[in-house]
Structure 1
Amino acid sequence: MSEESQKLLLKTSFKSVKTIESIYTGGKVIITEDAKYLITTLNEDIIVTELDTGKQVHELEGDTEIVTTMGVKPDGKHLVSASRSLFLRIWDLTTGESIRTFKAHEAPIIVMDIDASSTLVATGSADASIKVWDIDKGFCTHNLKGHGGVISAIKFHKYNGKWYIASGADDCQVRIWDLQTRSCIAVLQSHVSVVRGLDFSADGKFLISGSRDKVVNVWDWQAKELRATYPIFETLETVGFLEKNVKLAGKFGKNWQDADIFYTGGDSGLIKLWDLKSGKLIKAQEPEKNSKHTISDIVYIQKTETLAAITNDQNILMYSLEQKLERTKQIVGYNDEVVDIAYLGDNDTHLAAATNSAQLRVYNVETQDCDLLYGHDDMIISLDRSKDGTLVVTASKDKTARLWKIDLDNSDHQERFKGAGVCIGHTESVGAVALSQKSISFMITGSQDRTIKYWNLRDLDMDDADEEYRPKSLYTHQAHEKDINTICVAPNDKFFATGSQDKTAKLWNVDSGELVGTMKGHKRGVWCAQFSPVDQVLATSSGDKTVKIWSLKDFTCLKTFEGHTNSVLRVDFLTAGMQLVSAGSDGLVKVWTIKTNECASTLDNHTQKVWALAVRKDEKYIVSAGADSVVNFWQDVTLQEQEDELKEKEELLIKEQELQNFMRKKDYLNAILLALSLEQPFRLLGLFRQVFEARPEGDDSITGSGNVDKILAELSLENLEKLLGYIRDWNTNAKHSDIAQTALHAILASHTSEELVEIPTAKELIDGLLPYTDRHYQRIDDLITQSFIIDYTLSAQK
């Protein structure tokens, strides 16, 4: 079937084939030493994801309490997690199963560290104590007390063959513990705020401590001396050393090869690298434009020489040391509400999403990698794309609309997504935006200030996109009496439509901005409007739970679609304008056939409002997203299902022909098995009657054929269950009860009670036969005995 005719096939079946979901809601993040897995906390659960592919490997179900911290053995075999329930759990990372749970402290565990040999885990608690545990055997080896507050940092250290632990707390102290003597050998005091990070230098002689007092202290921990205090000028959340690397030194200069370099992260939201000897700043990452995030932790991935910054807005931003702290990848942990989406690229390979944040998120549909586009300084509410997917426009609460040039084939991240201009002029949030359809010549915006603006984009240079470009507004009109929720441009670029909370949709002339007509009829606000790709009609969806189609000639309502149980937030045309797809606050996506007014399919995989819809160009996929932070990809399987149905019918015809052939040849074994697989009880009854009535003289078989007796004796449990069900039904009719009870006699004679009790519904089937057996059945005692034995066996099993 050609793609065009496939497109015109009315769509009736969809299946959810993929989802983009939240994997991180704050807290500890781990990347395993082999850089294979990303481990994050999602509320009370733990998600294990393949770092390269984004594929979820395990969802480790929590104990209904928030996970406070976790750690992974360096060998990658086990994960240790702690939650507010005060329990410590050991997980097998291969199977994803919990293998041990035990209570660890009298208050929640705040920090933990696992030693290099993958044997011990040290836990620091809010009860001011530190405990060391043997992970595999599950017992406590050390209980270290001395701090006067919540333990906030902890680090194992092996030096000259001995094991030590460094700990920091909100009593502002750093303590060193000798695990051999189980005693505190040093109390290092200098900080005036909670200690948030600890690490030892490569030679093991120096300890650095980072605190919220905005300084890093360098300690000679054996001499118990403070060697240096470096002001970092930001509240610190993490510090750590980088390994000395000759390869990196070649890129950054010799000072990298000789220096001990440590990193810091905190409320500036920037990763910074410092020289231990001089305390000088060697390198800081370039700030993300208009970003307001802070860094809560940094994960150093030694294998790939990458620093992963964990931000307070639940993103994981990867910066390459080899590329001088350039951002190379970002993983979005939590999407919040997804309020708008659009496909991008020539082949719709990417998906742009507006998600209650100031950054535009662009997902690779295949790998689920995500790029964050910084520019707005308040939440993005709406977005639209050009016909070719190379230009995206975003409308925001910051009263502006921004243009983005998209070049997905470019390997340079800076060039792939580039700011191409800002539209400034509205006095309130810009809540709706639409680009011209035929070319990139204009765009229309609608705002909470109730005005619409036409922006001239004819002088936009797509080859040399410039963020400083400021499109001119050629006209501004007061359009509605309440907020404007939606704008769409007609396929011919001559008209555009708006929908508002004032319950109306309006049609406007693009060139002059004059009002052409008003569509009145909805009883609540209009959330979305879309032009048909082929007819002169407009579809609107509303808070009154309906979708309406309007004539653009006389602005009358032609059709109303009712079926959603709450506000209908989005609508779009499908199948060359013959169908509609809608999404609502009831969490449902519905596909409608316009000609018949019928709902052809209901897609249900959301738990909250569905705010956004996008249809791929070839219409093979519909994407829905909403308040549950989930993006669902729905595949059109109508053609596939029709082909499967046709194939099933053909196979059924062939099997029925085979059944007739077997009966003609008196091949009872294959005939009985085929009749059971075809689920044709009437054929089976006829077959048993045929055998019974054709009994040869002197035959002492039960059914009339020794072969059939043997077949019944060797039936599988599944087929036996099916046949007993048929026998029960036949037995209720006096015409068939003789055959039914003959078949039952053969089954009871060849199967023990122990065998019958293995059938899941044995009790119901035998009990169902009892009321009808006194009519013809000469061995009713056997059946009652079987029923009693089954009762007894089942109760014994319980």
Structure 2
Amino acid sequence: METTEKTAFEAVSVEPFYTGGKTSLADDGYTLATSFGEDVVVTNIKTGEEICRIEGDSEILTTLEISPDAQYLVTCSRSLTMRTYRIPSGELVRSARAHDAPVIVMAIDSSSSLVATGGAEGTVKVWDLERGFVTHNLKGHGGVVSALKFFGEQGGSVWRLASGADDCKIRVWDLVSRKCLKVLDSHNSVIRGLSWSSDGGILVSGGRDKIVNVWDANKFKLVRTIPVGESIETAGILNGEGLRIYTGGEMGVVKIWNGQTSALIAAQVQPAVHNKENERVGVVDILYKTDKLVSVLSDQTFVELDDDLKEVRRIVGFHDQIIDMTYVGEDESKLAVVTNAPDIRIQTVGGIETNVLTGHRDNVIAVDRSFDGTWLASSGKDHEARIWHVPTLTCFAVCTGHAGSVGGVALPRLPLEGRPPQFLITGSQDLTIKKWNIAKDGTAKAEYTRKAHEKDINALDVSPNDRLFATASQDRTAKVWDMNSGEAVGVLRGHKRGVWSIKFNPYEKQIVTGSGDKTVKVWSLNDFSCLRTFEGHTNSVLRTVWTSLGSQIVSSGGDGLIKVWTYASGECAVTLDNHEDKVWSLAVRGSDDGAQMVSGDGEGTITVWKDISDEEKAAKKAAAELQVEQEQQLANYVRSKDWENAILLALTLNQPYKLFCLFRDVLADRQDEDSIMGLTKVDNVIAGLNVEQLELLIKRVRDWNTNARSSVVAQRVMNCILVNHSVDKLSQVPKISTMTDALIPYSERHFNRVDEMYDESYLLDYALNEMDFLDTPQVV
């Protein structure tokens, strides 16, 4: 097979956009604003495209809200400043001090006219969104305002605002009369959700006291109390017939209740997802727009639900630290992503949609895939390894028996031909390796157990023919083992630090390792000697993989770099830099021999790398051919003394010496005595240059002016530029002041040299006169 070495890649990053905190969804159902640390990211969750990213004011965001028409974004932070931005440009419209304490909650009315803010000091303010002034200053709460909800539209006969606080009271404000109509008191904990019915006759409130209250908003009386059995973080009323109330809280599922009978109508069926602390993931908010329910979970994911509360899709806002990754699926269109959590995310390549595999009881450490990508193996800190069927997202087998964290796992490399994997290799912190026989019913039994290393086992790999497997350890060695007997057949010694990665070459009897000593080593499987050592990383090498039919190696390191090494030359073909943190995970798509690969770092960023080596070679070839054609054309212009086109083409080709020769020859020929350059056409060419061309020419003049031999040409050209171009146009040239500053000292030096030569010419005149005097006959 023909080997095409990879020398260029195009990067597409899937960056995190939500790290917890407030979120807001516009009425269109897809323009989502999310907190990202101190910043705000506005994303189109339909396409996954980032609309804009707005930098914060170096203080933690306390709340944000996007207007229903998706035209404005309002943010508040601990700096007590409220900022209004225009979407999608991200332009700052205004900035104002909002309250005397941080703003905790915010709401915008349905007409995108008013914005209400609730402060930690208990005050509620209403602002004109368009013009930015305060319309209402509402006081009365005895604690932090925790919930706000508008009813009605500006200019309507009924225009109300409900506010809840941690004083456990709800206040209903009439914005027309600017009075508090009623104080509703029935909760005994913080109120987190408020919602009006479409006609304004019903007000629903939910709190952390595990109840939802239904209020008659006309008589201001409690109609019904619904015990929901969990601490509520959000509650609201669904559109349609009857009073249906949605809730979400600590249990992590969305529920719908009958507001007239208190009966549970439906509950979301969801796996028990856990975060990195192994705590159950809860619902922190529910975004309800255009009859679409989107629950926001505490693990920074978004779940879109249909009318029956079935999951339509799940969107990842933040991966946290990405520990391992591999392509899965028959078409390798998905990634299995390990994020230092008990659950595995199956995510679309280059997208934000994901599914979740749940089952591990502690953080997952490593994953591996079968040849066809339909089976996935995982291992974790719960001392277990699991085999998953990817198309059905189900667990097929569980391997239990290690006494420590299982740091490496490997599946067979030969095609499975539609059957489940028949064995699995695992390596553990208990210093042992195990081969598991997997029965057709998913039963797993250890065939043998061997003590393998003196320290933790970091990685495993199985040979292409399934006859060998290899282990990499923190004890600075790697070992090769016989699959059938489980006996070591070779030890790879030479690394000075722990070995983090190991991979068999699919096409040659070679194996590659990456180590904490910052090197990549290739070893022979014939005599287990080191064939090559690649040096270039400035931190530990964390992952290594083969590509280009086994002729190249890709490595990623703690320095955030990815390097592609060519084995034959021993050199780095290309260094890829798109990460700011350690690149822990690296995977190459096997179906096209690495034409696409992915990398993940400690900040949760996934980068998809597309091989564009052929395109780059074609572009370089086309550029070289064009260069030859243009150089020939330039020669033709010079031969025919077409100075105008010759000068313009020399500028375009960026050939300083040829351009200098053109000006020098024109000055030497000097056909027009009235011309600065010696030819009126050349003067006109310089006079007609645009700003970009002027920048190039002044750079050349600056360089020529540093040498006495070329300074005459430089001075003439600069004179022509100054005569023919206005100060306004020259001021548009980038870095013009820097370039002129470089011109002045050399020009002064040239002037002083000429001045000295002029003075010395008087001595020559005197000497000549004296010589004439000596030649004249003297009369005695």
Q: TM-score surpassing 0.5?
A: yes
Task: Give me the whole-angstrom Cα distance separating, in 2, the residues matched to 1:151 and 1:724.
Answer: 63
Please state how far the C-alpha of 1:529 moved relative to its aligned partner.
Answer: 0.7
CA distance in structure 2 between the aligned counterparts of 1:123 and 1:685, rounded to whole angstroms = 67
User: 2: distance between equivalents of 1:40 and 1:601?
Assistant: 36
Question: In the alignment, is the contact (CA less than 8 A) between 1:728 and 1:769 conserved in 2?
Answer: no
Instruction: Map 1:537-576 onto structure 2 (within 5 A).
Output: 537-576=510-549
The CA distance in 2 between the partners of 1:122 and 1:498, in whole Å, is: 60
Matches within 5 A, 1:350-389: 350-389=334-373
CA distance in 2: counterparts of 1:293 and 1:731, whole angstroms: 69
Per the normalisation by structure 1, the TM-score is 0.88
Q: Which residue type is aligned with residue 479 of structure 2?
A: K
Matched, 1:406 2:390: yes
SS in 2 for 1:645: helix
Q: Distance in 1 between matches of 2:31 and 2:570?
A: 49
Q: Spell out, residue by residue over 1:412-450, the C-alpha distance to the aligned partner (whole angstroms, 9 max, x if none).
A: xxx4x2332222222322211111100333221112222
CA distance in 2, matches of 1:264, 1:735: 83
Q: Tell me which residue corresponds to 1:83.
A: 77
Match of 1:657, SS? helix
Describe the SS at the equivalent of 2:626. Answer: helix
1:366 positional shift:
4.4
Q: RMSD of the TM alignment (CA)? A: 2.3
- In the aligned structure 2, how far is the partner of 1:337 from the partner of 1:361? 13
Residue 610 (str. 1) matches residue 588 (str. 2) = no
Which residue in 2 is equivalent to 1:455?
436
User: Does 54-63 or 733-742 show the bigger shift?
Assistant: 733-742
1:465 aligns with none
Partner of 2:6: 11
Task: Give the drift of 1:29.
Answer: 1.4
Q: Out of 576-585 and 766-775, give the one that drifted further.
A: 766-775
* Residue matched to 1:310: 296
* Aligned partners of 1:451 and 1:476 also within 8 Å: yes
Please tell me whether the aligned partners of residues 195 and 209 of structure 1 are also in contact (alpha carbons under 8 angstroms): yes
Give distance in 2, aligned partners of 1:732 and 1:399: 71
Look up the equivalent residue of 1:337 and give its one-letter code: Q
Check 1:130–1:554 CA distance in 2 against 1; reply closer, same or farther (3 A cut): same
CA distance in structure 2 between the aligned counterparts of 1:62 and 1:167, rounded to whole angstroms: 27
| Counterpart selection for 2:598 from 623, 631, 639 | 623
1:672 aligns with 2:672: no
* 1:512-661 alignment runs, 5 A limit: 512-617=485-590, 618=592, 619-661=594-636
**Following the alignment from structure 2 to structure 1, what is the Cα–Cα distance between the partners of residues 742 and 720?**
19
2:729 and 2:26 map into 1 onto residues whose CA distance is: 51
> What amino acid sits opposite 1:671 in the alignment?
A
What is the rounded CA distance, in whole Å, between the counterparts of 1:34 and 1:574 in structure 2? 44
Alpha carbons 2:561, 2:577 under 8 Å: kept:
yes
Output the amino acid matched with 2:646.
A
Partner of 1:220: 216
1:199-253 residue CA offsets vs partner (Å, 9 max, x unmatched): 1223322222111111112222332322222211111111100001xxxxxxxxx
Say which is worse superposed, 174-183 or 654-663, in terms of deviation.
174-183
Q: What corresponds to 2:255 in structure 1?
A: 272
**Which position in structure 1 is the counterpart of 2:318?**
334
1:769 aligns with 2:753: no
Q: 1:764 is matched by which residue type in structure 2?
A: A
Query: In 1, distance between residues paired with 2:540 and 2:252?
Result: 40
CA distance in 2, matches of 1:753, 1:239: 65
Q: Per the alignment, do residues 737 and 431 of structure 1 end up closer, same or farther by CA in structure 2, a change over 3 Å counting?
A: closer
Q: Structure 1 residues 400, 691: CA separation in 2 closer, same or farther (over 3 Å shift)?
A: same
Q: Which residue of 2 aligns with 1:491?
A: 464
* Aligned-partner Cα distance in 2 for 1:732–1:220: 87
> SS state of the match for residue 25, structure 1?
coil
Distance 1:203 1:717 in 2: 63
Q: Distance in 2 between matches of 1:571 and 1:544?
A: 14
Any unmatched runs of 5+ in structure 1? 245-256, 408-414, 461-468, 781-798
1:725: Cα distance to partner?
A: 3.9
Match of 1:51 in 2: 45
- Whether the 8 Å contact between 1:349 and 1:366 is mirrored in structure 2 is no
**1:71-90: CA deviation from partner (whole Å, max 9, x where unpaired):** 22222211211111111111
Q: Which of residues 113, 120, 135 is equivalent to 1:119?
A: 113
Matches within 5 A, 1:268-307: 268-289=251-272, 291=274, 292-301=280-289, 303=290, 305-307=291-293
Shift, 1:46, TM fit: 0.8
* 1:313 partner SS: coil
Residue 92 of structure 2: aligned partner: 98
Q: Deviations over 1:679-704 (max 9, x none)?
A: 223323333343344445x8543433
Is the contact between residue 273 and residue 343 of structure 2 (CA under 8 Å) also seen in structure 1?
no
Distance in 1 between the 2:698 and 2:159 partners? 70
Whole-Å separation in 1 of the counterparts to 2:681 and 2:554: 58
Residue-by-residue CA offset, 1:236-290 (whole Å, 9 max, x unaligned):
111100001xxxxxxxxxxxx4x21001111111111111111011111113145
Deviates more, 1:84-93 or 1:475-484: 475-484
CA contact (8 A) 1:339 1:611 kept: yes
Which piece of structure 1 moves more, 143-152 or 764-773?
A: 764-773
CA–CA distance in 2 between the matches of 1:748 and 1:79? 49
* Structure 2 spans left out of the alignment, 5+ residues: 275-279, 416-420, 759-780
Asked if 2 retains the 8 angstrom alpha-carbon contact of 1:424 and 1:470, the reply is no
Q: Is the 8 A contact 1:592 1:600 kept in 2?
A: yes
**Are the structure 2 counterparts of residues 654 and 279 from structure 1 closer, same or farther at C-alpha, using a change threshold of 3 Å?**
same
Report the residue type matching 2:216 in the other structure.
D
Question: How much does 1:128 deviate?
Answer: 0.8
The alpha carbon displacement at 1:740 in A equals: 4.4
Equivalences for 1:169-248 in 2 at 5 Å?
Answer: 169-244=165-240
Tell me the alpha carbon deviations over residues 20-66 of structure 1, each in whole angstroms, 9 at most, x when there is no partner. Answer: 22111111111211113121110111111112110111001111112
Correspondence for 1:247: none
| 8 A contact 1:732–1:772 mirrored in 2 | no
Q: Distance in 1 between matches of 2:10 and 2:188?
A: 58
- Counterpart CA distance in 2 for 1:35 and 1:313 is 21
Residue aligning to 1:412: none
1:584 Cα offset (Å): 1.2
Partner of 1:251: none
Aligned equivalents of 1:645, 1:102: Cα separation in 2: 53
Give the TM-score taking structure 2 as reference length. Answer: 0.90
Structure 1 CA distance for aligned equivalents of residues 293 and 732 of structure 2: 58
Deviation at residue 741 of structure 1 after TM alignment: 4.4
* Cα distance in 2 for residues equivalent to 1:32 and 1:363: 25
Whole-angstrom distance in 1 between the partners of 2:706 and 2:566: 45
Aligned to 2:277: none
Give, in angstroms, the shift of residue 758 of structure 1. 4.6
Does the Cα contact within 8 Å between 1:68 and 1:108 map onto a contact in 2?
yes
CA distance in 1, matches of 2:619, 2:380: 47
Q: Is the aligned partner of 1:718 residue 2:714?
A: no
Offset at 1:632?
1.4
Q: Could you say what secondary structure the match of 1:203 adopts?
A: coil
SS in 1 for 2:662: helix
